């Protein structure tokens, strides 16, 4: 049988927020599923994490909590034998094992936006800058770039200027395009972006970032709040009107200029029109997608996951002609790392017992 693994967010011991909890024990209770606590020893105080969490749970929550495991242990595992005994004695919970720190974890895509912005930029020959919108979305578009050995990706946070001299500015997706267009102006990033393009830099926008490249963004139906229109960056002759019909579909196609194969997914609302569409960025079965400027320095489209297409990514990066190394197969790297992690877990955790817990919920 197949199982669905549900990951909580935050802590199940935040009892002051329990009445409105939909991400931890509240969800587990509603779905009537068993629970395994995971303690992060890398942050310290893991005995208190597990035993203290169990202490604060209600009786029904304790009944569905079947055990715990310890994650990210560094050093000699036998040094935590006493810790296991203390947790067992104070909570009565079953231990499913202690998982040593997995050194290749950095090869996997970041878990969430916080993980992404917490990463220190790596030194690289080809420099990308990514403004972190207040409502950034689909940041997994960056994962293949973060894995490239010769590429550095700098996340530009609120209050920081987009650095001069980067090769590429990438505008990511957003959950609220008009609000984040306002946010760009509040940060002064619109000035930085236009200066970057004037000085010969490359600019690419993905989904909402693509919509922002145009002259105007309009939300007549108030999909993102009140009905209004805002001015875009004006770097492509396009206008976008938000509509209530959301497009959600996977597609494969080619880059218009090079014919490089691409694969990704659409997940957006809005209809984009204008003269710039006469020179599309991508050719897809559903029709041309996106636009590219006359000089080829400003481009964008709706397809997410674009940089996971190896030939497209390598063609894009190779235009800067500064590479020493390159990643040949991003998806293969992720799969290989996941296989190694699975072997690591099988070696150190009682997965059979955990699967029995899952089977008991069927």
In degrees, rounded to 5, the angle at the alpha carbon of residue 303 between the alpha carbons of residues 297 and 309 is 80
Q: How far apart are CA 309 and CA 311, in angstroms?
A: 6
From the candidates 196, 207, 266, 348, which is the catalytic residue?
207
Residue 268 falls in the annotated catalytic set: no
Q: How far apart are CA 47 and CA 84, in angstroms?
A: 8
From the candidates 54, 256, 266, 304, which is the catalytic residue?
304
Residue 109 burial (CB < 10 Å; 0-12/13-18/19+)? middle
* The two structure tokens encoding residue 242: 């938000």
Element (H, E) at 40: strand 35-40
Q: At what angle do helices 189-198 and 177-187 cross, to 10 degrees?
A: 80
Among all chains, which residue has been given the structure tokens 């202490």?
A: 55
* The two structure tokens encoding residue 48: 């208190």
Name the DSSP letter for residue 258.
T
Residue 304 falls in the annotated catalytic set: yes
The set of residues, in sequence order, having a beta carbon less than 8 Å from that of 235 and lying 6+ positions away, is 193, 194, 197, 203, 213, 214, 293, 298
Polymer length in residues for the chain = 362
Buried b (16+ CB within 10 A) or exposed e, 198-226: eeebbbbbbbbbbbbbbbbbbbeeebbee
Catalytic residues: 207, 304
């Amino acid at each position: 049988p197949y199982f669905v693994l549900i990951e909580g967010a935050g802590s199940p011991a935040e009892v002051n927020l329990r009445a409105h909890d939909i991400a931890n024990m509240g969800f587990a209770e509603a779905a009537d599923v068993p629970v395994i606590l995971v303690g992060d020893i890398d942050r310290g105080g893991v005995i208190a994490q597990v035993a203290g969490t169990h202490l604060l749970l209600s009786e029904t929550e304790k009944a569905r909590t079947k055990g715990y495991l310890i994650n990210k242990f560094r050093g000699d595992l036998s040094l935590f034998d006493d810790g296991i005994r203390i947790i067992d004695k104070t909570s009565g919970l079953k231990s499913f094992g202690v998982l040593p720190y997995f050194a290749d974890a950095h090869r996997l895509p970041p878990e969430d936006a916080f993980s992404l912005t917490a990463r220190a930029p790596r030194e690289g020959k080809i420099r990308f800058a990514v403004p972190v919108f207040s409502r950034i979305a689909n940041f997994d578009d960056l994962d293949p770039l973060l894995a490239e050995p010769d590429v550095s990706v700098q996340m530009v946070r609120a209050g920081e200027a987009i650095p001069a001299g980067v090769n590429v500015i990438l505008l990511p997706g957003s959950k609220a395009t008009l609000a984040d267009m306002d946010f760009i102006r509040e940060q002064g990033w619109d000035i930085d972006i236009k200066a970057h393009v004037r000085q010969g830099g490359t600019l690419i926008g993905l989904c909402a970032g693509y919509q922002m490249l145009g002259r105007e963004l309009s939300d007549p139906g108030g999909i993102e709040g009140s009905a209004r229109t805002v001015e875009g960056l004006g770097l492509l002759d396009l206008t976008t009107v938000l509509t209530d019909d959301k497009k959600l579909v996977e597609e494969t196609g080619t880059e218009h200029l090079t014919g490089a194969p691409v694969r990704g997914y659409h997940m957006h609302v809005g209809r984009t029109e204008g003269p710039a569409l006469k020179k599309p960025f991508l050719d897809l079965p559903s029709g041309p997608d996106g636009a590219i400027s006359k000089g080829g320095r400003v481009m964008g489209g709706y397809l997410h996951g674009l940089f996971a297409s190896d030939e497209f990514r390598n063609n894009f990066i190779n235009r800067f002609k500064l590479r020493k190394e390159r990643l040949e197969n991003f998806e293969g790297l992720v799969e290989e790392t996941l296989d190694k992690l699975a072997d690591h877990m099988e070696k150190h955790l009682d997965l059979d017992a955990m699967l029995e817990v899952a089977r008991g919920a069927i």
